[in-house]
């Protein structure tokens, strides 16, 4: 099979794995090596549908001995199969890098014959790239659950980021749809990689996972609870959410024509952001009575509307964490407010001059004791006022590879 055909098959098979954002590696160019990693380089390069595009994102192979119900590469599917050799991947990466097509490599794989054999092939590829081709650029590799510890450690030493996909938010759903996997098995390689780097006294390698959203009945509350637990354990840097796109028939899966829940995915990312940067607890964002995120509003605004007793807050007095809870005020705006507030008492005119976005925030703040939304007499009809401000979100976003209709959860 020609390399172009392999590339077409194996990049198509990898495209829906969204757990490929860059780690915070900062390694500059060095004499005799090729490439470097930059904090600001690849991590911001996403396609219109939120998927990372500046990496060469491929599977080593789409052959797989597992039969995960949701995955196009499952062993029971009759699809065209292909496999690279380690040398082919190393050459592709270096050639694409030299042509400025990519800034790094995202490498995953189906399971060929055994977990150990697959991990061994990925390790061989990384060794070639790093030691023979002198490739110093960014590499993200999927760890293979069930592979021997020494292989996982060796791969983690050569990669900038590693990940292992939980795929489904509960053990029950894993049993139903991916019986060869379990939560313990999926997280074991991440624990190994983390413990190893800590034993070496190094900063833990960047680690991430992916959850498929909408294939199974778990609520957003359950999903955020799991993500929060993973962040608390400091096991993961990022959890990625991937709207489920049906590609297989299965009795326990949504029907083939069910549209992917892209808006739900978007709201989960917003809620995740609130947990990671704004110190929201998952059980503040949602609870068992309100178990799904409001699709009409962004997650912070939806929280504010359910917690009106918290508002209005006085812009001249509130601390940083309180200011961050005001809808429309992000980290940059809050820093500006805190900085200028040290020198003078802020007025509404000051906020406008400072270009603080007040479209939503003004309903939730007072400035020197005066409510910023002057037309407001209370919170009646606030929800409909705010709804009128919302721009309609597209319910379908184009993918980069419209011609390829495959999905892979990968490991």
Q: Which residues of this chain interact with ligand SF4, rule CB under 6 A?
A: 64, 66, 68, 71, 73-74, 110-111, 178, 408-411
User: CB of residue 249 vs ligand SF4: minimum separation in angstroms?
Assistant: 15
- Which distant-in-sequence residues (6+ apart) come within 8 Å of 265 by Cβ? 50, 213, 241, 242, 243
Q: Is 365 helix (H, G, I), strand (E, B) or coil?
A: strand
User: CB of residue 165 vs ligand SF4: minimum separation in angstroms?
Assistant: 7
User: CB of residue 411 vs ligand SF4: minimum separation in angstroms?
Assistant: 4
User: CB of residue 69 vs ligand SF4: minimum separation in angstroms?
Assistant: 9
Burial of residue 67 (number of CB atoms within 10 Å: 0-12, 13-18, 19+): middle
Structure tokens at 37: 């990693």
C-beta closer to ligand SF4: residue 105 or 111 = 111
Q: Would you mind telling me the total number of residues written for the chain in this entry?
A: 411
User: CB of residue 99 vs ligand SF4: minimum separation in angstroms?
Assistant: 29
Selection from 296, 375, 367, 381 nearest residue 329 by Cα: 367
User: CB of residue 64 vs ligand SF4: minimum separation in angstroms?
Assistant: 3
C-beta closer to ligand SF4: residue 189 or 204 = 189
C-beta closer to ligand SF4: residue 27 or 185 = 185
What is the C-alpha to C-alpha distance for residues 236 and 23, in angstroms, rounded to an integer? 11
Q: Which bin fits 355, alpha (ψ -120 to 50), beta or left (φ > 0)?
A: left
Burial of residue 211 (number of CB atoms within 10 Å: 0-12, 13-18, 19+): buried
C-beta closer to ligand SF4: residue 187 or 363 = 187
CA dihedral 13, 19, 24, 29 (to 10 degrees): 0
C-beta closer to ligand SF4: residue 64 or 92 = 64
β-sheet with 313-314: strand ranges across: 313-314, 365-367, 370-371
User: CB of residue 75 vs ligand SF4: minimum separation in angstroms?
Assistant: 7
Q: What is the 3-state secondary structure (H, E, C) of 386-406?
A: HHHHCCCCCCCCCCCCCCCCC
C-beta closer to ligand SF4: residue 25 or 118 = 118
C-beta closer to ligand SF4: residue 68 or 286 = 68
């Amino acid at each position: 099979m020609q390399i172009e055909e392999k590339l077409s098959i194996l990049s198509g098979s990898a495209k829906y794995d969204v757990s490929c954002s860059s780690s915070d590696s900062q390694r500059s160019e060095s004499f005799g090596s090729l490439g470097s990693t930059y904090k600001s380089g690849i991590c911001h390069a996403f396609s219109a549908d939120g998927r990372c595009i500046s990496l060469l994102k491929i599977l080593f192979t789409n052959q797989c001995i597992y039969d995960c119900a949701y995955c196009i590469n499952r062993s029971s599917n009759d699809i065209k199969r292909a496999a690279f050799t380690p040398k082919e991947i190393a050459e592709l990466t270096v050639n694409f890098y030299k042509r400025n097509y990519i800034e790094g490599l995202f490498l995953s794989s189906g399971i060929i014959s055994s977990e150990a054999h697959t991990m061994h092939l990925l390790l061989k590829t990384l060794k070639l790239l790093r030691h023979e081709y002198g490739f110093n650029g960014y590499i993200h590799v999927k760890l293979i659950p069930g592979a021997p510890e020494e292989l996982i450690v060796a791969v983690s030493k050569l990669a900038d980021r590693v990940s292992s996909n939980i795929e489904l938010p509960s053990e029950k759903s894993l049993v139903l749809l991916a019986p060869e996997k379990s939560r313990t098995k999926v997280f074991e390689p991440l624990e190994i990689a983390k413990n190893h780097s800590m034993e070496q006294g190094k900063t833990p390698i960047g680690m991430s996972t992916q959850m498929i959203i909408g294939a199974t009945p778990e609520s957003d509350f359950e999903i955020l609870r799991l993500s929060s637990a993973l962040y608390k354990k400091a096991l993961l840097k990022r959890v990625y959410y991937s709207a489920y796109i049906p590609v297989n028939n299965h009795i326990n899966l949504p029907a083939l024509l069910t549209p992917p829940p892209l808006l739900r995915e978007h709201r989960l990312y917003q809620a995740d952001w609130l947990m990671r940067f704004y110190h929201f607890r998952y059980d503040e964002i949602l609870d068992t009575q309100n178990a799904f995120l409001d699709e009409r509003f962004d997650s912070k605004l939806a929280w504010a509307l359910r917690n009106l007793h918290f508002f209005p807050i006085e812009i001249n007095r509130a601390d940083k964490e309180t200011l961050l809870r005001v809808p429309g005020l992000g980290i940059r705006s809050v820093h500006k407010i805190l900085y200028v507030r040290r020198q003078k008492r802020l007025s509404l005119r000051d906020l406008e001059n400072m270009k603080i976005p007040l479209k939503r925030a003004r309903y939730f703040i007072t400035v020197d004791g005066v409510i910023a939304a002057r037309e407001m007499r209370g919170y009646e009809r606030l929800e409909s006022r705010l709804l009128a401000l919302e721009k309609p979100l597209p319910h379908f976003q184009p993918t980069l590879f419209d011609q390829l209709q495959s999905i892979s959860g990968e490991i």
